[in-house]
Amino acid sequence: MVAGTQGTVSFIGNSPLLTGSFSGLDTAAIIEASLAVKRIPIDRLNNRISDNDTRVAAFNEFTALLETLQSSANALRNPPGSTGILSNVFEQKSAFITSDTATAATEILGATATNNAAPGTYEIEVLQIAEAHKISGSTLTDVTTALGVTETLTINLAGAAAEETATIDITADMTATDVVFAINAVTGTTGVRASALKIADNDFRIVFTAEETNKDIEITGDNGGATLNALGVSADNGATYTTVLQPSQPARLRLDDIPTVIERDSNEIDDLIDNVTLDLFKESTSSGTTITLEIEPDLSGVKAQIESFVTAYNDVKTFLNSQQVVSEEGEVDASAILFGDNLLRSLGRDLGTDLADLVDGLDSTALATLRGVGIELAEDGTLTIDNGTLDANLVDKLDEVRGVFEFGFQSSSPDIRLIARNELLNVGDFTITVPAGPIDGTNLQVGGVDAFEVDGGLLRGLAGTVYEGMTLAFNRNPAEPAETISISTSTGVAERLYQRLDSYVNKGDGLITEEVNRLQAQNEDFVDQIESLEARLVIFQNKLIEKYAAMERAVAAAEAASSQLEAFLKGGDD
């Protein structure tokens, strides 16, 4: 080992290196500089990863805005499928109630309507509210003393099924409070609850209440009703009760001019008017009140959805505008992460076209543009609402407003109607040729080409045709002659936008989805390249360390030889 006279210990990575001991060179600095040069490709790859991550984040932000716009358009486009009507804002109904006296209608009843409800007006008189059976026992001086009764009680409500009936074993050591607890333990099964009320000192009453209206409480014991007698509730094993606080009774009402009084077990009535639920609160006859119920389209809901659509579109347009900001000096704004991106340019152009184009397939006199509905295009490309025009159109031209937004379907035959379509159907106008006689099990043609299979009363678009995913209900008498049925469809603004956005944000093959996947896959490749370069860099580093270590050893050996020679020469002089 040769010891140097000066120098420092440095670390290159995890490798120690003695520098400057003999050569006087800072070999650690030299190696670091060499490694820095070799790291340039790694740094560039890290920068590209960072840039890609920033673009992915921007695309994800943009995608969230587009998905919100697509969702807001969905409710306005006549959503497809058997449940589409439930989310179609144009099918939403409001139930309005008014009173013909000073008594507020809401004191007497409430009403709600589903989207399937038919518009209409009804006159309602509430004659009687449904009540739950409630009974009480006589005075007990104490509810904590054992009753001394052994018996099995059977409890239910009148008309109960076997699974709605429960039995309770009463033992001699049970108190009135224990019996109440045991009854309440099976309330979920029987629909009967109990309570021990303290009226005053030495005055307790056991009260039974039915959980359902218009159903009598039924309680009997297999020991002659000893338990009910001990509780003061019944002396004849439930045949009669000591005190009936409230007899069970049905709800009774009159509807329009129907002379028959309508009865229901509950105050919640959902089977009187289709898709309308009535909640009865109190009798109207005491005040001579008649309630007028009106089922109408929910115009406020339509307007709110249109406002949401406009807001969502403006958020998208604002984002697009923010990605095009350039300073007066021609420098791209730092926030314009996606400046010049082809996807954004094409989507911005397509959205503008979808909004501005006329809706084809509508009556020539009908509204056919957003501007006609009351939605204007501002200078920056965002939308504004003319509330006066929109409100007037919703009141007077609701069907025309629908036509501007949704997927429309009209048929020359009253026997055919659209019942289902796939998400992205766009078929324009076509004519179905129907031959004479039975057609079940055959195919119907459009333009001389098979297009629909006949399955009973349904026509299903054949796979591989533009009609795939379309299902039509066809109510046809097999004895009818041959005919041609003209179908006209229209693709409104909301439908166009929904389909356009799907091509960009679809989770499977949307254009933005694919671009995000490409950037993320590219980053994975960059990471692999970095790992490979880092491994090669370690090898290069170790070679440099060995090289300069060898140099130091050589310099040390030379210095040692020089010192020995100098000592030898000095010895010769002596």
Q: Where are the domains of the chain?
A: 93-130+251-297, 132-246, 407-491
Identity of the amino acid at 167: T
Task: Give the model's pLDDT for residue 13.
Answer: 57
Residue 155 token pair? 């409890």
Task: Give the model's pLDDT for residue 268.
Answer: 97
Residue with structure tokens 């406002």? 307
Task: Give the model's pLDDT for residue 179.
Answer: 97
pLDDT at 4 over 60: no
CA atoms within a 13 Å half-sphere pointing along the CA-CB vector of 574: 6
CA 245 to each of CA 190, 232, 282, 341: distance values in angstroms, whole numbers, following the listed order: 20, 14, 18, 77
- Looking at per-residue confidence, does 568 or 160 come out higher? 160
What class is the 132-246 domain?
alpha beta
Residue 49: closest CA among 523, 552, 529: 523
* Residues paired with residue 112 on neighbouring β-strands, in sequence order: 277
Residue 293: closest CA among 303, 284, 302, 301: 284
For 195, other C-beta atoms within 10 Å of its C-beta total 13
- How do strand 449-455 and strand 15-19 relate by DSSP bridges? unpaired
Task: Give the model's pLDDT for residue 83.
Answer: 74
Residue 223: closest CA among 238, 242, 205, 206: 238
Using 50, 70 and 90 to split pLDDT, how confident is the model at 118?
very high
CA 548 to each of CA 4, 543, 562: distance values in angstroms, whole numbers, following the listed order: 15, 9, 21
CA atoms within a 13 Å half-sphere pointing along the CA-CB vector of 351: 27
Provide the 8-state DSSP code for 143: S
pLDDT at 360 over 60: yes
Write the pLDDT tens digit of every residue in 309-323. 999 999 999 999 998
For the segment 533-539, the average pLDDT, to the nearest whole number, is 85
Write the pLDDT tens digit of every residue in 479-509. 889 999 999 988 999 999 999 999 999 888 8
For residues 238 and 151, the answer to whether their CB atoms sit within 8 Å is no
For residues 425 and 408, the answer to whether their CB atoms sit within 8 Å is no
Write the pLDDT tens digit of every residue in 545-561. 777 777 767 777 777 78
- Looking at per-residue confidence, does 573 or 175 come out higher? 175
* pTM score: 0.75
- Among 3-12, 199-208, 415-424, the minimum mean pLDDT is found in 3-12
For residues 295 and 93, the answer to whether their CB atoms sit within 8 Å is yes
Write the pLDDT tens digit of every residue in 71-103. 999 999 988 876 778 888 999 999 999 999 999
Provide the 8-state DSSP code for 131: B
